[in-house]
A and B are shown apart, each in its own frame.
Chain A
């Protein structure tokens, strides 16, 4: 780009053509006060504070909306400019209520800062405050529009960044205010309570609802510990508590100026009364407080005894997709080297590790192919986005903003979902089962698989596949082609209950394009999850949608460190760096690094561990940061299995259901209280430092593991996170820069597609189809399990947030209007939902977005009660029903008045 030179305040500088004067000044550290400008928003020119004077013409104009021109001579603080600025701020202050002393924005208020800088204290103008009613009915955001200065930042952030469209200006002049549609309260609008507007508001007009009033003592940058997006946070600290959360000011963060309701408002769970503050040990029936020394000594002794007596196969380790890379690494290292067992897994079992396994299988674990689409920002270059079985606005809201923004830019969107998700817009195609009986009852299982097969077959008919990619990088295409040719298109249409016309439109749109896939994690918890993922991989290979800018897979990951836990080897079949346990050359690399032999066979996964505990073969289980009693189906069965263990060690931050039955409980630190790194769903490794100390006697997980290893008399398993990082990076190439992490926040794209692709081939897998299923007459409805944006996973942490629990959503089951009418149900009536596995009772909410014959049950609410309808079976075995939906019957239950 051409650069131009100009003079600002006597300094000669150059800037790229097209930049505004404000941007040019900022780039050269010349400060110009602003209220309505934000680097991520389109300039607006509303506040007029960024006025500057042009020496040549003597004109004064707003620098945020004036492009810098060659040979301009600009003064940012000339007497005339200052005089204008003072007048503008005086007028604003005259309209502003005198409530600075009790205002939540406190010393962070930009208006107050600028007024102070300009020395506007006692205002000579007649005060004319423009009072508006205070809105604070919802538990998240307090709106005091008396303090609004009409900078429009909230509106623009809402429209340009978050794409929720909840608010806009109303009326004109003095009456103008940002309001919702029909001026309803926020909770009745399309507001998602992401809180982006709260953080971006320069005054106290929008603030987070809280007890604390004033300015946090310090701010500390960190990474959010909830979902796989990995947003950068600015944690406000008062004393040793986190009192406030905002998006970080870093310009290259994943989330920029946005956050979601969990990230912004659910972090009050960190100060929950249920936080573990001291080690506990079981004496008789009770858990009693003890010292660290005794707790660790007991844990180590018992584990060693069990290993001596029953052998390494009697011990298992459950790591966590919520803990850091360093912690998971050390955790599995202790299991593999000291206890000589590969029985290591993590909670990611339930959130889509399957995809990684399948990719691995096709490339024989070479893993150099990058199926991942890479950074979210690549969506801007996508040719077509295909969202399959995902509802990103609920699971990973900040990623959803990326999707909505690219859709608004005109990138075509195809959605395959039983429900019309809110990404559906005028430019998108929504593919869904038509609800034609008798197919209606059984499409939950077959829909995705048959749809993907059909799309692949129709693309083949059009000869819309990437010949050069297929011949260069894949093998087995001929067979795949034959199988697709012999596939009955009618069968697919019928089994998935599809509308042929919609599919034809979608195929036309996909033909000849590189596809960016967005795959929901629920898709993998599915009866045909594995087959569907295989079909998707085949489709991606056929269209050459891999290793191409913006194309590839985005796998929705609900847990913050799902990818990291896998990379670090907290899985039964892989060592750190995704090296296969079963392959001797892979094993040899770590055996050399660790100086010990590693057992050869693959270990047990989470469900196998439970089965083994049930049978009495598994004697000891060490759980770090997971709560299976709340997250898995059939808790009664699980409870018995866990109780039959001789030793259960639980290391967690909250006194969870699982901690309640442990023999030793070790109080750990949350992400805000420790250092480490997370790997997000794009594959970005992000480091962070502690903001506050853990409560009470709690210790960071890494320190606990180090102390535990010391008790086991196994040196070499200790170290700070820097040392561990060094160890990791010495063997795992994709983490090789990890040790060099100097900054508290370090962001680096993980291994990009390498050129080695030419040497390898990825296999096509055979086309699988779904079996004919008989609808069970006893269970005529299909229940889908839906995770709402307010909770994460099973809700162990988010339930401890007083804001989240006070919200509108109380776990109501969504029912279609026609079904509600048939059963004469009204909003808030109570129903009983029965499946083959169990039953639950809940209130309902009628929602026209729900298709007839379907109901949606939010997970996480009421101690994650939805799981009671499921069976504890591996969901990718064909005889099991999967974990994302199930057949149910519903009937009306006695209405119970709920105390809210």
Chain B
């Protein structure tokens, strides 16, 4: 299975909404990221044209923010906390378990585009340490069993293709 083809019609809608607006770049990119799950590199030219910016500038903004990705990401993005509190509470082992469970390294996306594994410097939920996020949901006070069950919830149902 490969990443979805770019839906250029949908893309054009987003462009139209933000074209020629001052300070429109980041809201535009956020919407693209949201709708497509990533910012397809081949759209950089069109984004730049719509806002009268240099394509290299648009790329610079995309690569600056961790929130933007130019590679297709999984349906579910896991962010494992590397903060001090989580570290003390065994966050490192949690990460190891997740890596084993998903068979992914940091920054990687599973071949079926279900999961992307990332780490964050601190999720700001130290009272829940060790913590992680899946998309916008927080999961705290993790242990290996809990991790496996959380991941299980997000796994694709068998046979669903």
Q: Chain A residues in contact with chain B, CB under 8 A?
A: 159, 165-172, 179-182, 189-190, 425-427
CB neighbours of B52 from chain A (8 A):
425-427
A166 to B44, CA, bound (A): 13
Return B41 CB to nearest CB of chain A, in Å: 6
* Closest partner residue, chain A, to B53 (CB atom): A165
Q: Is B157 an interface residue (CB 8 A)?
A: no
Q: Please report which residues of chain B, range 1-38, place their CB below 8 angstroms from some CB of chain A when the two chains form the complex.
A: 20
B57 at the interface (CB under 8 A from A): yes
| Chain B residues in 8 Å Cβ range of A189 | 56
From residue A306, how far is it (CB to closest CB) to chain B in Å? 61
Bound complex: CA A170 to CA B56 (Å): 9
How far apart sit A179 and B63, CA to CA, in the bound complex (Å)? 11
Query: If A181-B44, A182-B41, A426-B20 touch, does A172 touch B56 (CB 8 Å cutoff)?
Result: no
What's the dominant secondary structure at chain B's contact region? helix
A–B complex contacts, Cβ < 8 Å, 7 sampled:
A165-B55, A166-B56, A168-B54, A170-B60, A179-B59, A181-B55, A190-B56
Q: How far is the CA of A189 from the CA of B57 in the complex (A)?
A: 13
In the complex formed, the residue of A with least CB distance to B56 is A168
CB distance from B58 to the nearest CB of A (A): 8
Q: Which residue of B lies closest to A427 (CB)?
A: B52
Q: How far is the CA of A169 from the CA of B44 in the complex (A)?
A: 15
> Do A169 and B20 touch (CB < 8 A)?
no
Q: Distance (Å) between the CB of A176 and the closest chain B CB?
A: 8
Count, chain B residues at interface, CB 8 A? 14
- Measured between beta carbons, the chain B residues less than 8 angstroms from A170 are 59-60, 63-64
Interface 0/1 of B37-70, CB less than 8 Å to A: 0000100100001001111110110011000000
Given A159-B54, A181-B55, A426-B20, A169 contacting B41 (CB threshold 8 A): no
Residues of A within 8 A of B64 (CB): 169-172
B40 CB to closest chain A CB (Å) equals 12
Instruction: Specify which chain A residues have a CB less than 8 angstroms from the CB of B41 in the assembled complex.
Output: 182
Which residues of A lie under 8 Å from residue B59 when comparing CB positions? Answer: 168, 170, 179, 181-182
Q: Please, which residues of chain A bring their CB within 8 A of the CB of B57?
A: 159, 165, 168
- Complex contacts, B49 vs chain A, CB 8 Å: 426
Which residue on A lies nearest to B59, using beta carbons?
A: A181
Residue of B nearest to A175 (CB): B63
From B20, B53, B56, B63, A167 is in contact (CB under 8 Å) with B56
Q: Is B60 in contact with A168, judged by CB distance below 8 angstroms?
A: yes
Q: B15 to nearest A CB, angstroms?
A: 13
| A169/B60 in contact, CB under 8 A | yes
How distant is the Cα of A179 from the Cα of B64 in the complex, in angstroms?
Answer: 13
Highest count of chain A CB atoms <10 Å: which of B44, B53, B55: B55
Bound: A15/B12 CA distance, A: 51
A170-B63, A171-B64 known; A181+B56 contact, CB < 8 A: yes
List chain B residues, Cβ under 8 A from A427.
Answer: 52
Instruction: Give Cα distance in the complex from A436 to B52, angstroms.
Output: 30
Residues of chain A within 8 A of B56, CB atoms compared: 165-168, 179-181, 189-190
Q: Would you give the shortest CB distance from A878 to chain B, in whole angstroms?
A: 42
Which residue of chain B has its CB nearest to the CB of A165? B54
Q: Which single residue of chain A is at the shortest CB-CB distance from B60?
A: A168
Complex CA gap A171/B60 in Å reads 7
How far is A189 from B49 in the complex, measured between Cα atoms in Å?
16
* 12 new A-B contacts at CB < 8 Å, known A165-B54, A168-B59: A159-B57, A165-B55, A168-B60, A169-B60, A171-B63, A171-B64, A172-B64, A181-B44, A182-B41, A189-B56, A426-B20, A426-B52
A171 surroundings in chain B (CB, below 8 A): 63-64
Shortest CB distance A813–B (Å): 25
Min C-beta distance of B65 to chain A, whole Å: 9
**Cβ distance A411 to chain B, nearest Cβ, rounded Å:** 14
A171 to B53, CA, bound (A): 18
How far is B57's CA from A720's CA once the two chains are assembled, in angstroms?
53
For A159, what are the chain B residues with a Cβ–Cβ distance below 8 Å?
Answer: 54, 57
Closest CB in chain A relative to B108 CB, distance in Å:
18
CA distance A581 to B57 in the complex (A): 57
Which residues on the A side are within 8 Å of B55 (C-beta)?
165, 181, 190
Q: Which 5 A-B pairs have the closest CB atoms?
A: A165-B54, A168-B60, A168-B56, A170-B63, A181-B55
Q: With CB as the reference atom, state the residue of chain B lying closest to A183.
A: B59
A628 CB to nearest chain B CB (Å): 42
Complex alpha-carbon distance, A168 and B55, angstroms = 9
Least CB separation from B51: chain A residue: A426
Compute how far the CA of A305 lies from the CA of B127 in the bound complex, rounded to whole angstroms.
107
The residues of B that contact A166 with a CB separation of less than 8 Å are 54, 56
Interfacial chain A residues near B20, Cβ < 8 Å: 426
CA distance A172 to B67 in the complex (A): 13
A169 CB contacts on chain B under 8 angstroms: 60, 64
In the bound complex, residues from chain B placing their C-beta under 8 Å from that of A165 are 53-57
A33 to chain B, nearest CB (A): 28
A172–B20 Cα distance when bound, in Å, is 27
- A651–B60 Cα distance when bound, in Å, is 53
A545 to B20, CA, bound (A): 31
A740 CB, nearest partner CB in chain B, Å: 45
A189 to B56 Cα, complex, angstroms: 9
Q: How far is the CB of B118 from chain A (nearest CB, A)?
A: 15
A183 to chain B, nearest CB (A): 9
Q: How far is the CA of A163 from the CA of B52 in the complex (A)?
A: 12
Residues on the B chain within 8 Å of A172, using CB: 63-64
- Find chain A residues with CB under 8 A from B53 CB: 165
Q: Within the assembled complex, what's the spacing in Å between the Cα atoms of A189 and B44?
A: 14
Which residues of chain B from 74 to 125 have a CB within 8 Å of any chain A CB? Answer: none
In the bound complex, how far is the Cα of B55 from the Cα of A427, in angstroms? Answer: 17
Cα–Cα distance between A505 and B49 once the two chains are bound (Å): 21
**Closest B residue, CB atoms, query A407:** B52
Contact residues in B for A190 (Cβ distance below 8 Å)? 55-56
Q: Which residue of A lies closest to B64 (CB)?
A: A172
